[in-house]
Structure 1
Amino acid sequence: MGMNKREIWKLIYMLFLGQIVSFSLAVTSFTSSLIADLGANAPLTQSFFTYLSLSLVYGSILLCRRRNIDKLQVPWYWYVALAFVDIQANFLFVKAYQYSSITSVTLLDSWTIPWVMILTWIVLKTRYSVWQIIAAGICVVGLVLVLFSDAGVSGGGGGSRPLLGDALVIAGTLCYALSNVTEEYCVKKKDRVEVVAMLGVFGVLISVLQISFFEKKSLEEVKWTPIMEQN
């Protein structure tokens, strides 16, 4: 049975949203790589503004929708855990740009796919077809080739320590997978606005704590000029 007109437009809309997300991720990757090349070592600070934006936008929507937000649909400590894991994923990815190339980091980001498939199969009981498993296997083979390629790269366009950067990316993809699977479950079963708002609020709080402990000195060493001098 073919799709009706409404379903076709819905599919087109979803594809359009996916392209917007892809473009946004590409811009973020380019910006993170550029900041790393300019000598700034502040991955937590970069992510802080993302969580601040989420908390301001979705937090405002949540306050307008509810007079009382004391009764969350998901316990607050789960939001703390979700925000913590998400922050570590962003930290590892941004940190990887200091050691590896933007190409390797972007390609290895696909490691999130097999992690997500494994986690959804275990936690959400999702079942995948043989073709989906084969496609994921081909993806993993390609990513392994990227690792072998970086193992033979010394400096230059491959980054100063490409294998370390690749390891940080792979660790980040696991954190992203944990975060994404949790978010998928919550937005489908609970309140999407609450989930995103609380992710932003607790993300801001945890980011501020981590920045004050681990990144304060790095921020003080940054030379804030129109074009930062490399260290």
Structure 2
Amino acid sequence: MLISVALGQVLSLLICGIGLTSKYLSEDFHANTPVFQSFLNYILLFLVYTTTLAVRQGEENLLAILRRRWWKYMILGLIDLEANYLVVKAYQYTTLTSIQLLDCFVIPVVILLSWFFLLIRYKAVHFIGIVVCILGMGCMAGADVLVGRHQGAGENKLVGDLLVLGGATLYGISNVWEEYIIRTLSRVEFLGMIGLFGAFFSGIQLAIMEHKELLKVPWDWQIGLLYVGFSACMFGLYSFMPVVIKRTSATSVNLSLLTADLYSLFCGLFLFHYKFSGLYLLSFFTILIGLVLYSSTSTYIAQDPRVYKQFRNPSGPVVDLPNAAQAEPSVTYTSLGQETEEEPHVRVA
């Protein structure tokens, strides 16, 4: 349980690095280039993971994957790109507090999609942990108001709020799709295809929407270093997140990421001279308590032949399906470790 919580905090620290470098680029150097920053990340993913797929042999080769599933990864690449773009764009219209609170909408989206498509079932303690985490986020937003922290432009709040909700929805779809792919296929395939289609579509969007902003950037070694730092943190986040999702779940990862704003705030106390409030510490520990509650109990998968086919080791003896009237599913989908390898394979009618 503690390892699962710790792994999630590593992801939060990477997001903190992404936020700090983005803040320096936009506020100190007036480099408003969210699409270009995403493009750099997708290029790194392409160079590392897409080329890995290209040199593989057999059914795991890049061309073989494209022949079978190219249109699915094309849709996923668009979803991932636009999720990043919508949330960053929302900062121009709505307040920081609204973004922090509405971005939590990704959690119910992930829960619902996991319930219906991955057939994951939760227990009461999981919902209690989720509520405690969201209360911690509410506490942080309240502290921002009390200390008068910069709240954003807020020029057209409704538009900004809708952008955040749209981005959170796309994030939820992307995360659940990612969990499905890394459990049924492979982490390298997911990252390689995201790198391929993400680089393609972000390059088009960059040429159409952001080329003028890119020309305005006052290039020097400091800006170059910030872009390198941003790209390194983003590449680390994309590379490490599938590892954590496979060990835990998409829901657990999104709960862990709620602490990212607090890490950015704590860094901002020294770098940007933010005002401090004890409510920030209360918020941080409240979110951690919610994470511990959520991770203390395993979720499980509803008894369904598709789940056995998708998530179980195909080796081993073939047995008949269990009685449909059985009250409790016998298959455990744990967020605390790997699944048992000796589960019997189920014949699907």
TM range (shorter): 0.7 to 0.9
Aligned to 1:31: 21
- Deviation (angstroms), 1:50: 1.0
- Deviation (angstroms), 1:129: 1.1
Aligned length: 216
- Stretches of structure 2 that go unaligned for 5 or more consecutive residues are 224-349
More helix by share: 1
- Stretches of structure 1 that go unaligned for 5 or more consecutive residues are 1-7
Seen in structure 2, the aligned counterparts of structure 1 residues 167 and 31 have a Cα distance that, compared at 3 Å, is farther
Seen in structure 2, the aligned counterparts of structure 1 residues 135 and 149 have a Cα distance that, compared at 3 Å, is same
Which amino acid is 1:43 matched to?
A: P
Per-residue CA shift, 1:195-228, capped at 9, x if unaligned? 1101101100000111111112222233335678
Matched, 1:157 2:150: yes
Which amino acid is 1:191 matched to?
A: S
Segment of structure 1 superposing worse, 72-81 or 177-186: 72-81
- The counterpart of 2:62, out of the listed 32, 57, 69, is 69
1:114-129 aligned at under 5 Å gives the runs 114-129=108-123
Query: Which protein has greater RCO, CA pairs closer than 8 Å, 6+ apart?
Result: 1
Segment of structure 1 superposing worse, 87-96 or 191-200: 87-96
Seen in structure 2, the aligned counterparts of structure 1 residues 200 and 22 have a Cα distance that, compared at 3 Å, is same
Aligned to 2:49: 58
1:45-124 aligned at under 5 Å gives the runs 45-66=36-57, 68-72=61-65, 75-98=69-92, 105=99, 109-124=103-118
- The counterpart of 2:184, out of the listed 179, 182, 189, is 189
- Deviation (angstroms), 1:31: 1.5
1:8-47 aligned at under 5 Å gives the runs 12=3, 14-37=4-27, 38-47=29-38
Aligned residues of 2:95 and 2:154 also touching (Cα < 8 A): no
Which amino acid is 1:132 matched to?
A: H
Aligned residues of 1:114 and 1:136 also touching (Cα < 8 A): no
- Deviation (angstroms), 1:94: 2.5
CA–CA separation in structure 1 for the residues paired with 2:114 and 2:151: 33
- Deviation (angstroms), 1:130: 1.6
Per-residue CA shift, 1:179-206, capped at 9, x if unaligned? 0111110111112211110110110000
Seen in structure 2, the aligned counterparts of structure 1 residues 161 and 18 have a Cα distance that, compared at 3 Å, is same
Aligned residues of 1:83 and 1:202 also touching (Cα < 8 A): yes
CA–CA separation in structure 2 for the residues paired with 1:137 and 1:18: 18
Which amino acid is 1:42 matched to?
A: T
CA–CA separation in structure 2 for the residues paired with 1:227 and 1:71: 42
Q: TM-score, normalised by structure 2?
A: 0.53
Segment of structure 1 superposing worse, 133-142 or 22-31: 133-142
- Deviation (angstroms), 1:165: 4.8
Q: TM-score, normalised by structure 1?
A: 0.77
Aligned to 1:173: 168
